[in-house]
């Protein structure tokens, strides 16, 4: 079903767009620095297949940290809860997404949660398979199923650009390897992780994935339970407590929707039982979240009383 342009959403986008000037596109991954900071688009995907949108929703974005919540779901299904949570914790950090600080003060050096980079690297390490290629394609297959879009792939340029410059993530990996939290070759893990972060899709796909989380892991359009209800519940809980990093508390108070951001400017939202949201607005605030995307979600949440609290 094609996505309908919505007049109401258009007005909200227009209002939120005023805030794009307060942000900056991420450039620590050089290829992401090419994005247009003025962009802002949204798609809302309902469980009955309807979709409404505003902005240029055909533009493709790389998932970046949004992939962390999907890889977590995948690994929970692959390995089971106890295996996963023996290696990565459940607590928010209050630190920036790429911080190394807490790792050194924790014993064992287990990352506090799967949404910060240290935790996400451990999660990616846990993806089963015979090779990086095989593990990546297993994850990609899951993502294609969630979005119901077999054409989803990854952007090689963005993956390479991150791989060549990811020295902080390399440092995190070596630290984790020293403490036996990860055991594989660091370059292989970074190859897989940067490809995972470079998986690319449009807001529509993003909104559809949000809808699956919102509907407790079930695809209401074909009746398939893509992930167990408990896995969807755990992922949504992490979205609330850690999905926007050290802005998660304020986001929960002002917006109250389980959401996950990425430095590409994407936000995946899941309004429990109602619908999924995909947003793209590459101008970021100082915490690495889409500045106008958050404003847009705030307007949406207030206007339609979407807060779950």
Decide: is 64 part of the binding site for ligand DON (CB under 6 A): yes
Ranked by CB distance to ligand DON, the top (closest) residue is: 65
98 binds ligand DON (CB under 6 A): yes
Catalytic hit among 245, 248, 261, 301: 245
Rounded to whole angstroms, the Cα distance separating 68 from 195 reads 12
Closer Cβ to ligand DON, 39 or 162, answer by number: 162
263 annotated ligand binder: yes
Question: Does 71 help bind ligand DON (rule: CB under 6 A)?
Answer: no
Q: Does 65 bind ligand DON (CB under 6 A)?
A: yes
- Select which of 46, 193, 261, 271 is catalytic: 193
Beta bridge partners of 200: 62, 153
Bridge partner residues of 290 (DSSP): 284
Among 169, 202, 246, 248, binds ligand DON (CB under 6 A): 169
* Catalytic hit among 41, 53, 65, 99: 65
242, 93 Cβ separation under 8 angstroms: yes
Piece of 72-80, 174-182, 183-191, 258-266 that binds ligand DON (CB under 6 A) = 258-266
Q: Is 28 annotated as a binding residue?
A: no
193 is catalytic: yes
In the numeric block, the tokens 């962390």 are attached to 68
* Residues whose CB is less than 8 angstroms from the CB of residue 156 and which lie 6 or more positions away in sequence, other chains included: 198
Would you say 169 is a known binding-site residue?
yes
Residue whose CB is less far from ligand DON, 3 or 268: 268
Is 68 designated active site? yes
Nearer to ligand DON (CB atom), residue 68 or residue 144: 68
Query: Which of the residues 189 through 248 are near ligand DON (CB under 6 A)?
Result: 197
Which of 19, 46, 97, 163 is the binder for ligand DON (CB under 6 A)? 97
Using rule CB under 6 A, residue 114 touches ligand DON: no
Using rule CB under 6 A, residue 172 touches ligand DON: no
Position among 119, 278, 288, 293 found at the interface with ligand DON (CB under 6 A)? 288
Per-residue three-class SS string for the chain: CCCEECHHHHHHHHHHHCCHHHCECCCCCHHHHHCCCCCCEEEEECCCCCEEEECCCCCCEECCCHHHHHHHHHHHHHHCHHHHHHHCCCCCCCCCCCCCHHHHHCCCCCCCCCCCHHHHHHHHHCCCCCCHHHHHHHHHHHHHHHHCCCCCEECHHHHHHHHHHCHHHHHHHHHHHHCCCCCCCHHHHHHHHHHHHCEEECHHHHHHHHHHHHCCCEECCCCEECCCHHHHHHHHHHHHHHCCHHHHHHHHHHCCCCEEECCCCEEEEEECCCEEEEEECCCECCCCCEHHHHHHHHHHHHHHCCCCC
Closest CB to ligand DON among 68 and 218?
A: 68
Active site residue 154: no
Binding mask 4-43 for ligand DON (x = CB under 6 A): ----------------------------------------
**Binding to ligand DON by residue 293, rule CB under 6 A?**
no
Residues annotated as part of the active site = 65, 68, 193, 245, 263
For binding to ligand DON (CB under 6 A), which residues are involved?
A: 64-65, 97-98, 117, 162, 169, 197, 261-263, 288-289
């Amino acid at each position: 079903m094609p996505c309908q342009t919505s007049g109401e959403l258009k007005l909200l986008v227009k209002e939120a767009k005023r805030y794009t000037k307060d942000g900056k596109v991420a450039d620590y991954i050089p290829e992401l620095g090419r994005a247009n900071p003025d962009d802002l688009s949204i798609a809302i995907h309902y469980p009955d297949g309807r979709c409404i949108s505003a902005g240029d929703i055909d533009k493709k974005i790389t998932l970046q940290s949004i992939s962390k919540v999907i890889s977590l779901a995948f690994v929970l299904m692959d390995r089971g809860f106890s295996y996963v949570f023996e290696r990565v914790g459940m607590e928010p950090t209050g630190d920036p997404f790429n911080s190394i600080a807490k790792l050194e003060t924790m014993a064992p050096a287990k990352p506090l949660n799967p949404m910060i980079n240290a935790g996400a690297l451990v999660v990616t390490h846990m993806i089963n398979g015979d090779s990086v290629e095989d593990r990546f394609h297993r994850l990609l297959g899951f993502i294609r199923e969630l979005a119901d879009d077999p054409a989803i792939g990854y952007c090689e340029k963005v993956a390479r650009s991150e791989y060549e410059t990811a020295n902080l993530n390399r440092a995190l990996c070596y630290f984790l390897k020293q403490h036996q939290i990860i055991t594989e070759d660091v370059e292989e893990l970074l190859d897989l992780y940067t490809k995972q972060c470079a998986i690319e899709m449009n807001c529509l796909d993003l909104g559809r994935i949000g809808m699956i989380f919102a509907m407790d892991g079930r695809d209401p359009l074909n009746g398939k339970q893509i992930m167990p209800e408990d896995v969807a519940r755990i992922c949504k809980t992490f979205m609330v407590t850690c999905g926007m990093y050290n802005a998660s508390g304020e986001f929960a108070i002002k917006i109250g929707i389980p959401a996950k951001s990425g430095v590409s400017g994407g936000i995946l939202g899941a309004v429990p039982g109602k619908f999924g949201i995909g947003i793209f607005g590459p101008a970021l605030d100082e915490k690495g979240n889409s500045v106008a995307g958050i404003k847009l979600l705030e307007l949406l949440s207030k206007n339609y009383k979407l807060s779950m609290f």
